[in-house]
Structure 1
C-alpha cells in the first residue's frame, strides 16, 4: 500500500553538525552512506556532542574529514580532529524517518507530552497525506529499492527509527510503500 513519497534525503556526516540534503543516497546495513560517520574530538580526546557543543549544529558538514575538522575548529575556536564513529552513536537506529505532517504539527506546538519539537535530524522526510508514521512500529517499508523495518519511536517523539532489511537506493520522489 502506497502511503506517501520521499521529499527529503539527508545525511549528517559528523555527529552533532548540520547535515546536507541529497537527491538520492545508497542505504546499507548501517544506514545512509556517509551518515554519522565521524565524531569531532578535542585535543584532550573528548568526543564532542551537539548538547555539549551547541555551535556544532551551525557547521554544515560535507563528509570531507579535513575540511569538516577545519570548519569545526573555526566555529568552536578549539582545535579538533575527526575520528570514525564505527557504530551508531547512543544506540541509534540505522535510519531516522519523519513525516512532513509531524514537522508541521511540531511547528504548530502539537507534540506529545514530554516531547520536544527540536530539529529531528531525520535522514528521510516523507509526505504522508493519509498516514502517520508513529503507527508503523513493527512494519516494513519499501522506499526506492531499500526495505526498512520500523523498530521504535525516538526519544524526541518526532518520526520513527528503522533498521535496514534490504540495502538499496532511496531518492527524492520515491514512493513509500508499507508492507
Structure 2
C-alpha cells in the first residue's frame, strides 16, 4: 500500500519549505501553510514567479509570533496578530480577503526584494493556496522525470512545492485518481485534476535563480499535454499545458503524518489526464 513519504509547508508563500512530520488538514487546507503572502505596491500577488530569491527566506510561525530569517540581517520577529488595513488579493481570479501585517516585516521584505511589498495575513487560514487546498505527487513520478532528463539529478522535490508526496505507487499513478476519494492517514481528499506548472519549477530551490529548464523537461517526456483544465491558466506558460502533480479538495479533515497509509476509496475512476 502507498504511504505518505513527505509533507511540505511554509507560513509565507514563496519562501523556503519546511518538512513537518505531521499536519492537520482542515476543509481549507493546512492552517499555517501559506498563512501569509506578499503583495506589491499595487496590491497584486507577489511570489516566487516575480522574485525567485524569496526561497532564501525562512519563515517560522510559533504561536502568534512570526520570524523571518532574511539573508544578511538579523531575524525579523514580531506578532502576526497586529493587523493593519483590510485588503483583497486576486489569486488567479479568486478574491482572497486579508489584512496587512503591521510591524517590521514590510520594510525588511522591501529591502530584500528591491521594491515596495507588504505582507498580508489571509482572513481564513489556509486560503492562501493557488487554487485547491491539497496538492500531491508520487515519488515515482518525480524520480521518473529525473531519470529521463539529462542532468535530471538536479530536479529535487522542492521545485514542485507539493503539500503531500507519496511513496509506493507507479509512475503517474496519481493521475488516474481524478474524481476519486483518497484517504491520506486520518483525512480524505477528492482528486480534482492536474496541477499546471509555472516558471517557479525552473528556479533553484536554494537560491531562487533560474538554473534548469524544468518545464521543457516535462514537455519533452510527457508528450501529450493538458488541453482541458478546471483551473485558471491565463498566467501560466502554454496556457497551463505543462502539468505535473494533482490538485485535491478536502472531503474529511484530519491529521496526516509521514508513513500514513494512502488508500484510493473509489473503485472506478472518472475520466482524467493520462500519464506519459
Which range, TM-score by smaller chain? 0.7 to 0.9
| Correspondence 1:124 to 2:164 | yes
RMSD between superposed Cα atoms in Å: 2.6
Please give the per-residue CA displacement for 1:46-86, whole angstroms capped at 9, x wherever unaligned: 43121111111222222367423377456425564421234
Secondary structure at 2:136's aligned position in 1?
strand
Task: Provide closer, same or farther for how the CA distance between residues 5 and 47 of structure 1 changes in structure 2, counting only shifts above 3 A.
Answer: same
Structure 2: distance between partners of 1:72 and 1:175? 40
Q: Which residue of 1 aligns with 2:77?
A: none
- Identify which of 141, 153, 170 aligns with 1:102: 141
Indicate if the aligned counterparts of 2:191 and 2:248 stay in contact, CA closer than 8 A.
yes
Structure 1: distance between partners of 2:60 and 2:147? 31
- Decide which structure has the larger Cα Rg and report it: 2
Instruction: Point out where structure 1 has 5 or more consecutive residues left out of the alignment.
Output: 111-115
- Identify which of 121, 126, 145 aligns with 1:84: 121
Equivalent positions of 1:23-172 (< 5 A) are: 23-42=21-40, 45-63=43-61, 66-68=66-68, 69=105, 72-73=109-110, 75-77=112-114, 80-85=117-122, 86=124, 87-90=127-130, 92-109=131-148, 119-130=159-170, 132-156=173-197, 157-172=243-258
Indicate if the aligned counterparts of 1:40 and 1:83 stay in contact, CA closer than 8 A.
yes
Structure 2: distance between partners of 1:63 and 1:77? 24
- What is the TM-score of this pair, normalised by structure 2? 0.55
Structure 2: distance between partners of 1:27 and 1:169? 6
Name the stretch that deviates more: 152-161 or 42-51. Answer: 42-51
Secondary structure at 1:20's aligned position in 2?
coil
Name the stretch that deviates more: 95-104 or 33-42. Answer: 33-42
Secondary structure at 1:27's aligned position in 2?
strand
Aligned residues: 171
- What is the TM-score of this pair, normalised by structure 1? 0.82
Secondary structure at 1:154's aligned position in 2?
strand
Structure 1: distance between partners of 2:182 and 2:129? 23
Structure 2: distance between partners of 1:72 and 1:176? 39
Secondary structure at 1:105's aligned position in 2?
helix
Indicate if the aligned counterparts of 1:28 and 1:164 stay in contact, CA closer than 8 A.
yes
Indicate if the aligned counterparts of 2:37 and 2:128 stay in contact, CA closer than 8 A.
no
Please give the per-residue CA displacement for 1:81-122, whole angstroms capped at 9, x wherever unaligned: 4212343454x1110111111111222346xxxxx9981100
Q: Which residue of 1 aligns with 2:15?
A: 17
Relative contact order higher in (CA < 8 Å, ≥ 6 apart): 1
Instruction: Point out where structure 2 has 5 or more consecutive residues left out of the alignment.
Output: 69-104, 150-154, 198-242, 266-276
